[in-house]
């Protein structure tokens, strides 16, 4: 079997025209808008796309793109598109490469062949890392991409996002780009990922506080994003004000416990740390166990908060949470992490 990938040329003839016609309007995200042109229009089609490959006469939202034909044993069987670089729209919807096989030649592995040849062309053009998208339900394309060594790194809104590194020496990690920023929140894009961060903090602390009487301290406040009161562990931000810059996390935990519950702790012991929402933010929460509690204040939070403090006997926490849930409150799941550390088990 002789396989050849040919770049579009002004000398292409009727066999290419007939393949474009057979492919039709396209499917699974691949667009073939010129499938219904007359053969008299074919020379203008070739001239137009040769110019596009050179970056000439492009619409503002378009990038240079080269079309290729896959020939097998002298017959054109596939159409491929290679975009020389990406803009924001292409990063979401199309990626660098699109391809299709004419219906009369399908089922013979030509999809794997054309993608392999297009990847070679991308490397020859100096593209260090290729992005390719396909519909989540397009199982055939997913197999073709995997067979060519592409890596699936995200599925979002019904689309699969694949990448393949072509030249590891020249591949630079994506640089963070600030999309928007307000007083407290910053929205960042890094490669294909968008996430939020709070630029003026150095961490988050949560406190598992158990009184000498065996009661777990919980706090309740109305949370605007979920439009409901939420039952939570005492928690707060580290270094979120100029006067707290550089404070140790343990000190922040003591401060937040006093501020929200009115209790001071004789001992503050590290339990664990990890990301509370790794797909949304890079923040990491550190959880402490507070012992030797003594009440020294009223609690309730600062002037911007309206916090209610609950002291619940440890053996009644599950039933109390269920009761509050039935009354319309929501429960922060980190409470169950606290129960695991305190009792070694969590009820379903």
Give me the active site residues, please.
305
Q: Which residues contact 96 (CB under 8 A, 6 or more apart)?
A: 82, 83, 86, 90, 122, 127, 130, 131, 132
- Measured CA angle at 40 (ends 36, 45), to 5 deg: 65
Residue whose pair of structure tokens reads 């055939």 in the numeric block: 140
Tokens of 166: 């072509």
- CA dist 57 and 220 (Å) reads 61
Q: Scan for tokens 């929501």, then name that residue.
A: 330
Are the CB atoms for 195 and 283 separated by under 8 Å? no
Tell me if 247 sits within 8 A of 239, measured CB to CB. yes
> Which residues does 345 contact at the CB level (< 8 Å), separation at least 6?
339
State residue 197 phi and psi, 5-degree precision. -145, 155
Q: Which residue has the tokens 């963070």?
A: 176
DSSP three-state, residue 20: helix
């Amino acid at each position: 079997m002789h396989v050849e990938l040919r770049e579009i040329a002004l000398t292409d003839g009727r066999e290419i025209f007939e393949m474009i016609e057979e492919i039709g309007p396209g499917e699974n995200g691949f667009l073939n808008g010129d499938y219904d042109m007359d053969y008299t229009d074919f020379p203008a089609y070739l001239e137009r796309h040769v110019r596009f490959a050179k970056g000439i006469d492009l619409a503002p939202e378009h990038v240079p793109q080269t079309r290729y034909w896959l020939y097998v044993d002298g017959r054109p069987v596939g159409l491929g598109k290679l975009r020389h670089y990406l803009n924001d729209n292409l990063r979401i919807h199309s990626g660098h490469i699109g391809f299709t096989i004419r219906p009369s030649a399908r089922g013979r592995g030509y999809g794997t062949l054309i993608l392999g040849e297009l990847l070679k062309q991308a490397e020859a053009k100096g593209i260090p890392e290729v992005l390719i998208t396909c519909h989540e339900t397009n199982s055939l394309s997913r197999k073709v991409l995997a067979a060519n060594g592409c890596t699936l790194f995200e599925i979002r809104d019904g689309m699969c996002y694949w990448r393949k590194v072509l030249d590891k020496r020249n591949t630079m990690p994506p640089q963070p780009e600030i999309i928007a920023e307000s007083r407290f929140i910053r929205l960042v894009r890094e490669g294909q990922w968008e996430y939020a961060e709070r630029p003026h903090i150095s961490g988050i602390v949560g406190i598992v506080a158990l009184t000498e009487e065996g009661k777990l301290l919980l706090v309740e406040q109305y949370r605007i994003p979920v439009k409901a009161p939420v039952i939570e562990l005492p928690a707060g931000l580290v270094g979120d004000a100029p006067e707290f810059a550089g404070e140790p996390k343990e000190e922040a935990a003591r401060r937040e416990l006093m501020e929200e519950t009115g209790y001071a702790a004789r001992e503050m012991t590290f339990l664990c740390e990890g990301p509370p929402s790794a797909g949304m933010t890079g923040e990491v929460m550190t959880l402490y166990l507070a012992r030797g509690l003594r009440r020294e204040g009223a609690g309730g939070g600062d002037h911007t908060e309206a916090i209610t403090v609950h002291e619940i006997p440890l053996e009644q926490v599950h039933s109390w949470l269920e009761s509050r849930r039935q009354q319309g409150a929501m429960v922060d799941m980190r409470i169950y992490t606290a129960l695991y550390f305190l009792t070694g088990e969590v009820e379903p």
